[in-house]
């Protein structure tokens, strides 16, 4: 008998930002699978369950194992930080199910993604149209990343940058953005949003490089558009209401 597979977004890490649906899915499951860090963030929910942790770059293995367990009758939660559709495993799971023609219908549980968590710490920088761009060049070339950066910045989108694994790629991206936007454009830097050792800083395009060493793979950067401004530390992107 086929079981059930949940692909669960657990949010940025704080228990207060988990959704009820995510909590219920994990509690219902007898098997929980995920990247070490994400599983550790839900340690209070997984007592008595079969827990399978793995390292970074083992995403395909985790997805296949979750599918196999579900097909063998288990209720499985494959956990993802943030939202599983935003650079998570939702699409990988569905690709495997579709390509192999499996009789399994995974349930995707949304979560608070990093851009939203970081933006809330900064104020309200995403209140107009914005673009989310992944700076990791593990699956996408540098050229593709820069093409997307150029399109977003030329369209005057607020830009949220995920996964600045390579500081060379980050610097190249910020230099490209600086060709279109002035040095006073607000920049927010948030590391470990809603987790221990959280770091939140508001700076600008002309000064952001001073904080390069504070950036790691758990950092989200938000670059304002032509309307974004800062008031008492809050990044604000107005929607255009008459106030």
Q: Is the pLDDT of residue 235 over 90?
A: yes
Percent of the chain with pLDDT over 70: 100
Q: Give the pairing of strands 219-223 and 158-162.
A: antiparallel
Q: 19 near 11, Cβ under 8 Å?
A: yes
Whole-number pLDDT of residue 57: 86
Q: DSSP string of 29-88? A: -SEEEEEHHHHHHTGGG-TTSEEEEE-TT-HHHHHHHHHHHHHTT-EEEEEESB-TTSSS
Q: How far apart are alpha carbons 208 and 186 in whole angstroms?
A: 9
Whole-number pLDDT of residue 58: 94
Whole-number pLDDT of residue 172: 98
Q: Is the pLDDT of residue 56 over 90?
A: no
Q: Is the pLDDT of residue 240 over 90?
A: no
- Mean pLDDT throughout 121-138? 97
Q: What is the pTM of this model?
A: 0.94
Q: Is the pLDDT of residue 14 over 90?
A: yes
Kindly tell me the sign of the dihedral angle through the C-alpha atoms of 151, 152, 153, 156. positive
| pLDDT, tens only, 170-220 | 999 999 999 999 999 999 999 999 998 999 999 999 999 999 999 999 999
Q: 122 near 97, Cβ under 8 Å?
A: no
Mean of the per-residue pLDDT values of the chain: 96
- Mean pLDDT throughout 232-243? 92
Phi, psi of 173 (to 5 degrees): -65, -45
- Mean pLDDT throughout 77-95? 97
Q: Is the pLDDT of residue 19 over 90?
A: yes
Whole-number pLDDT of residue 92: 98
Whole-number pLDDT of residue 16: 96
pLDDT range class, residue 162, cuts 50, 70, 90? very high
pLDDT range class, residue 2, cuts 50, 70, 90? confident
**Cα–Cα distances in Å, from 204 out to 135, 210, 231?**
19, 10, 13
Which residue ranges form the domains of the chain, and what is each CATH number? 4-109 (3.40.1010.10), 114-236 (3.30.950.10)
Measure the N-to-C terminal CA separation of the chain; round to a whole number of Å: 60
Whole-number pLDDT of residue 150: 98
Kindly tell me the sign of the dihedral angle through the C-alpha atoms of 228, 234, 239, 243. negative
Candidates 127, 151, 158; CA nearest to 225 is 158
Give Cβ neighbours of residue 122 (< 8 Å, ≥ 6 apart).
188, 190, 200, 202, 222, 234, 235
- In total, the chain counts a number of residues equal to 243
Percent of the chain with pLDDT over 90: 95
Q: Is the pLDDT of residue 38 over 90?
A: yes
């Amino acid at each position: 008998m086929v079981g059930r597979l949940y692909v669960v977004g657990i949010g940025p890490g704080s228990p207060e930002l988990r959704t009820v649906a995510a909590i219920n899915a994990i509690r219902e499951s007898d098997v929980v699978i995920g990247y070490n860090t994400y599983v550790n963030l839900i340690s209070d929910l997984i007592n008595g369950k079969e827990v399978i942790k793995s390292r970074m770059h083992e995403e395909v293995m985790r997805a296949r194992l979750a599918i196999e367990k579900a097909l063998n009758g288990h209720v499985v939660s494959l956990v993802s930080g943030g939202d599983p559709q935003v650079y998570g495993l939702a699409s990988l799971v569905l690709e495997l199910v579709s390509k192999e023609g499996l009789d399994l219908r995974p349930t995707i549980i949304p979560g608070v993604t990093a851009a939203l968590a970081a933006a809330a710490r900064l104020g309200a920088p995403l209140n107009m149209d914005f673009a989310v761009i992944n700076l990791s060049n593990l699956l996408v070339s540098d050229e593709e990343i820069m093409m997307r950066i150029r399109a977003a910045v030329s369209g005057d989108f607020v830009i949220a940058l995920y996964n600045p694994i390579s500081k060379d790629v980050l610097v190249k991206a910020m230099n490209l953005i600086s060709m279109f936007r002035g040095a006073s454009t607000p920049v927010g830097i948030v590391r470990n949003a809603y987790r221990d050792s959280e770091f939140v800083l508001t700076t600008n395009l002309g000064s952001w490089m001073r904080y390069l060493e504070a950036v790691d793979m758990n950092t989200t950067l938000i670059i304002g558009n032509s309307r974004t401004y800062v008031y008492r530390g809050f990044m604000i992107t107005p929607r255009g209401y008459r106030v």
